[in-house]
């Protein structure tokens, strides 16, 4: 495990765990790597593929599939050689409010992988946990209704035993995510990877859509995008937050969530919107310092 130093001298570790998967540099700095001094930009992380495999508990193929999915959806850029990997978070400032969503998604992916291996080691799903015929028919109807035109129809009368077992596993996976088949297949139709917007000519098969890792990654990306859109809408609908931010020449996007939270807490403590505006307007300090002073005013 190689140490990193941020510009302030604080040491970080290259080792990445599922809960710290995106502990990136918050500003430009240099990382000390054996025999090298590597410059990292804000939102970048230096690690190794073997370290990621160990900390995620995944095989190389699964790890690469996961990060390729994020890269194809323009969420990260990944540069690797035979010794190290540099991961860059795209739109780093914008993604800050949704980092917890991504961490939860990674934890869920771990649980799904464990479930997958459990079922594989038992050769087939336990009969008591298999979906009943009615549930399977409803699942197939949801697929044909939503995705039949785009990805091809499935005939419920001629579906194979292997496909039936895959459907049962998919139903179980969606149940664990508290997602209905219809909602999942609607999400598939707006996923840029599945609809071929990322790769011309790509068309997923029915069995591909049933894979636990496909379900997980599709729902994860959709949840992230929804979280970001909801935050943007929430911030843009608050006239005080937008006014303060637009008038702060040195404010950065990653401070939006902090500002919005402070304004909410200030209102709960009966500080008026005009008092909030006046506090920031009358400050001659940097926006970062003013934010700190404002938090002390709120929580004192």
Both tokens of 139, joined, read 């699942």
Both tokens of 13, joined, read 């570790």
Query: What pLDDT, on a 0 to 100 scale, did the predictor assign at position 83?
Result: 78
pLDDT bracket for residue 223 (50, 70, 90): confident
The model's pLDDT over 52-79, given as tens digits with 9 standing for 90+, comes to 888 778 888 888 888 888 888 777 888 8
Given a cut of 60, whether residue 244 has pLDDT beyond it is: yes
Both tokens of 273, joined, read 């919107």
Given a cut of 80, whether residue 4 has pLDDT beyond it is: no
pLDDT bracket for residue 128 (50, 70, 90): very low
Given a cut of 90, whether residue 2 has pLDDT beyond it is: no
Lowest mean pLDDT among 18-27, 102-111, 223-232: 18-27
Both tokens of 277, joined, read 């505006």
d(C-alpha 254, C-alpha 112), whole Å: 31
d(C-alpha 186, C-alpha 222), whole Å: 11
Domain-wise residue ranges, the chain: 3-90, 101-220, 238-299
Helix (H) or strand (E) holding 117: helix 99-121
The model's pLDDT over 177-207, given as tens digits with 9 standing for 90+, comes to 889 999 999 989 888 888 887 666 788 999 9
Q: Are 40 and 29 in contact (CB under 8 A)?
A: yes
Q: Are 53 and 60 in contact (CB under 8 A)?
A: yes
d(C-alpha 147, C-alpha 203), whole Å: 11
Q: Are 92 and 42 in contact (CB under 8 A)?
A: yes
Share the mean pLDDT of the chain.
Answer: 78
User: CATH for 3-90, among 3.30.70, 1.10.357, 1.10.10, 2.130.10?
Assistant: 1.10.10
Torsional sign, CA 91, 96, 97, 100: positive
The model's pLDDT over 24-40, given as tens digits with 9 standing for 90+, comes to 554 566 666 666 777 77
pLDDT bracket for residue 16 (50, 70, 90): very low
């Amino acid at each position: 495990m190689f140490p990193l130093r941020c510009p302030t001298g604080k040491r970080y570790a290259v080792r990445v765990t599922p809960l710290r998967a995106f502990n990136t540099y918050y500003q430009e700095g240099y990382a000390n790597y054996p025999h090298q001094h590597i410059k990292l930009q804000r939102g970048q992380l230096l690690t190794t593929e073997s370290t990621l495999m160990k900390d995620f508990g995944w095989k190389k193929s699964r790890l690469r599939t996961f990060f390729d999915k994020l890269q194809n959806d323009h969420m990260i850029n990944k540069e690797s050689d035979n010794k190290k990997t540099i991961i860059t978070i795209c739109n780093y400032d914008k993604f800050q409010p949704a980092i917890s969503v991504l961490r939860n998604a990674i934890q869920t992916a771990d649980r799904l992988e464990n479930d997958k291996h459990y079922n594989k080691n038992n050769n087939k799903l336990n009969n008591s946990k298999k979906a009943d015929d009615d549930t399977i028919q409803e699942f197939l109807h949801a697929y044909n209704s939503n995705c039949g035109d785009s990805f091809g129809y499935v005939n419920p009368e001629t579906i194979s035993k292997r496909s039936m077992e895959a459907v049962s596993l998919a139903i179980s996976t969606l149940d664990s995510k508290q997602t209905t088949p219809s909602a999942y297949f609607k999400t598939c139709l707006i996923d840029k990877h599945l609809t071929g917007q990322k790769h011309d000519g790509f068309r997923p098969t029915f069995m591909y859509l049933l894979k636990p890792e496909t379900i997980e990654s599709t729902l994860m990306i959709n949840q992230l995008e929804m979280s970001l859109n909801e935050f943007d809408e929430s911030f843009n609908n608050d006239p005080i937050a937008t006014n303060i931010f637009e008038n702060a020449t040195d404010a950065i996007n990653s401070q939006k969530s902090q500002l919005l939270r402070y304004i909410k807490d200030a209102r709960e403590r009966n500080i008026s919107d005009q008092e909030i505006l006046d506090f920031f307007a009358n400050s001659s300090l940097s926006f970062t310092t003013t934010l700190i002073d404002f938090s002390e005013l709120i929580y004192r």
